[in-house]
């Protein structure tokens, strides 16, 4: 999923350092130049490109697929994704399979230029050579686009390309995924997809001040830069840890965007729409097996938030109960059980009660839809309440939800709601 996003998952990948000029890598694995790629390899490459979500970052809205041009704002400037169609002048038409492999595996362009880590080569380095060649074959089959690449607009000193040499020395470890001998083939397949093509850590792992993922907190949750969405922990059962989920519910959430336990919204909705819904049942099951194995009972570090007093919390809960009865009860039911899958349950809902409350705040304010998928082509949506509820009223209703029906979340303050009332424009 070259996600983004965003964009989805793409913005989360952005790191604020520029590429560094370097000589082409010597001694990279050899590959026979493919003049004509078989239909079977192209089809496999298309499937793998979907798993990598390449289209999300490399397609500007209203433009040709994979023609690039998508703006990726970062705290350090704006990057623009490149054209990766087979056009010889503006795309990768002159690239060999070796060149493409070098980009995925080592983060180096055809001319030896070090690539931005916004391109998730720290994850893609785990992709096998055979999968790299298949994706290359597919991209060469895509209709070429003459769309020119737009120069990046990075702030000083991040526009100094040589800085990336130090970043790589500190944070990049090259190497194809190595299977764990004491785990099943299915577990290893899931680990390969999550750690490699899926690059799930790009969103679900916090980043340091230089934009690198914190390896000691891998998949333990992270705020997606400049989007004000929180990608919850996949290891803690207090957030999105899946250890207590039935395997079928995990698979449904990944492929359909909805399940009996909940639905995906925000950047993850685009990931499901563009990428995960196309997974085979076997690959979805493998991912579920691996993700469930990561489950831990620990609680992620508590983010800095404004905490209401005990008296304020009591008053917010009482006022929230009345607001819930007026605005939410019809869909989510008086006891919070919902009518799954179209109306997700709020009772015992980790997404509602986790410590970092940005996602439920944004959902009440702005509403949204799960992704439209083949199994759920016409999803039910959540209406926005920003226009009719004040910051305090949103805080009240969320406080009630977070402290009812088995949920054990803390109270929400009006200050927290006000912080997220403005929707990012980029």
Please report the domains of the chain, with CATH numbers, ordered by start residue.
8-171 (no CATH), 185-293 (1.10.760), 310-419 (1.10.760.10)
pLDDT at 333: 94
Q: How many residues does the chain have?
A: 426
- Distance, in Å, from the CA atom of 71 to the CA atom of 7, rounded to the nearest integer, reads 9
Residues 6+ apart with CB under 8 A from 97: 31, 32, 33, 34, 132, 133, 136, 137
* Side-chain-facing half-sphere of 45: CA atoms under 13 Å: 21
By C-alpha distance, which of 288, 191, 194, 283 is closest to 241? 288
- Distance, in Å, from the CA atom of 410 to the CA atom of 399, rounded to the nearest integer, reads 7
Please name every residue paired with 210 in a beta bridge, in sequence order, or none if there are none: none
Rounded to 5 degrees, φ, ψ at 224 are -75, 120
pLDDT at 33: 41
pLDDT at 27: 40
Tell whether omega for the bond before 81 is within 30 degrees of 0, i.e. cis. no
pLDDT at 242: 77
pLDDT at 17: 30
Rounded to 5 degrees, φ, ψ at 356 are -85, 110
pLDDT at 35: 40
The pTM assigned to this predicted structure is 0.81
CA-derived radius of gyration, the chain: 22
- Distance, in Å, from the CA atom of 117 to the CA atom of 106, rounded to the nearest integer, reads 11
Distances in Å between the Cα of 364 and the Cα atoms of 11, 199, 384, 396, 424 are 23, 29, 6, 11, 16
Distances in Å between the Cα of 227 and the Cα atoms of 109, 117, 300 are 28, 18, 21
Residues 6+ apart with CB under 8 A from 84: 54, 58, 66, 68, 91, 92, 139
Residue 216: burial class (beta carbons within 10 Å; 0-12, 13-18, 19+):
exposed
C-beta of residue 386 within 8 angstroms of C-beta of residue 278? no
Quickly count helices (H) and strands (E) in the chain.
Answer: 18, 7
C-beta of residue 9 within 8 angstroms of C-beta of residue 203? yes
Residue pLDDT tens, the chain, 426 long: 433 333 333 322 333 233 333 444 444 334 444 445 689 999 999 999 999 999 999 999 889 999 999 998 888 889 999 999 999 999 999 999 999 999 999 999 999 888 888 899 999 999 999 999 999 999 999 999 999 999 999 888 877 777 888 989 999 999 999 999 999 999 999 999 999 999 999 999 988 888 888 888 888 888 886 677 888 888 887 776 677 788 999 999 999 998 888 888 888 999 999 999 999 999 999 999 999 998 775 454 555 455 666 787 889 999 999 999 999 999 999 999 999 888 889 998 888 888 888 899 999 999 988 899 988 898 888 999 999 999 999 999 999 999 999 888 889 999 989 988 876 544
pLDDT at 424: 56
DSSP-derived secondary structure for 45-103: HHHHHHHTTHHHHSB-TTS-TT-B--EEEETTEEEEPPP-SS-TTTSSTT--HHHHHHH
- Distance, in Å, from the CA atom of 269 to the CA atom of 368, rounded to the nearest integer, reads 10
pLDDT at 243: 75
DSSP state of 188: H
- Distance, in Å, from the CA atom of 332 to the CA atom of 383, rounded to the nearest integer, reads 13
Antiparallel, parallel or unpaired: β 71-74 and 77-80: antiparallel
pLDDT at 278: 96
DSSP state of 218: T
By C-alpha distance, which of 9, 15, 7, 29 is closest to 174? 29
């Amino acid at each position: 999923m070259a996600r983004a996003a965003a964009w989805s998952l793409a913005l989360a990948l952005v790191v604020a350092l520029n590429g560094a000029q370097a000589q082409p890598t010597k001694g990279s694995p050899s590959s026979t130049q493919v003049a004509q790629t078989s239909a079977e390899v192209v089809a496999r490459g298309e499937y793998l490109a979907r798993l990598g979500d390449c289209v999300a970052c490399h397609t500007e809205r209203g433009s040709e697929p994979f023609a690039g041009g998508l703006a990726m704002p970062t705290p350090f400037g704006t990057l623009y994704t490149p054209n990766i169609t087979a056009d010889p002048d503006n795309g990768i038409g002159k690239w060999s399979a070796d060149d493409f492999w070098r980009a995925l595996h080592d983060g180096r362009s055809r001319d030896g230029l070090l690539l931005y880590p916004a391109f998730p080569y720290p994850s893609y380095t785990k992709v096998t050579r055979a999968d790299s060649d298949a994706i290359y074959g597919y991209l060469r089959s895509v209709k070429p686009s003459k769309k020119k690449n737009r120069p990046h607009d990075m702030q000083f000193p991040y526009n100094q390309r040589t800085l990336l040499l130090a970043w790589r020395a500190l944070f990049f470890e090259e190497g194809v995924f190595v299977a764990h001998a004491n785990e099943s083939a299915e577990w290893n397949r899931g680990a390969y997809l999550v750690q490699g093509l899926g690059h799930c850590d790009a969103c679900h792992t916090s980043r340091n001040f230089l934009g690198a993922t914190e390896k000691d907190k891998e998949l333990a949750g992270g705020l997606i830069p400049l989007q004000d969405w929180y990608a919850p922990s996949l290891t803690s059962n207090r957030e999105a840890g899946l250890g207590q989920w039935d395997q079928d519910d995990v698979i449904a959430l990944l492929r359909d965007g909805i399940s009996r336990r909940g639905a995906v919204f925000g950047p993850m909705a685009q990931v499901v729409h563009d990428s995960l819904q196309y997974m085979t049942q076997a690959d979805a099951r493998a991912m579920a097996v691996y993700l469930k194995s990561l489950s831990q009972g620990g609680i992620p570090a508590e983010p800095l938030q404004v905490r209401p007093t005990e008296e304020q919390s009591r008053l917010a809960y009482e006022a929230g109960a009345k607001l819930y009865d007026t605005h939410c009860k019809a869909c989510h039911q008086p006891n919070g059980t919902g009518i799954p899958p179209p109306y997700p349950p709020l009772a015992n809902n980790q997404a509602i009660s986790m410590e970092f409350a940005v996602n439920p705040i944004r959902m009440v304010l702005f509403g949204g839809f799960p992704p439209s998928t083949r199994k759920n082509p016409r999803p039910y949506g959540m209406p926005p309440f920003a226009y009719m509820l004040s910051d305090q009223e949103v805080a009240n209703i969320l406080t009630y939800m977070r402290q009812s029906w088995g949920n054990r979340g803390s109270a929400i303050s009006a200050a927290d709601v006000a912080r997220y009332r403005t929707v990012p424009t980029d």
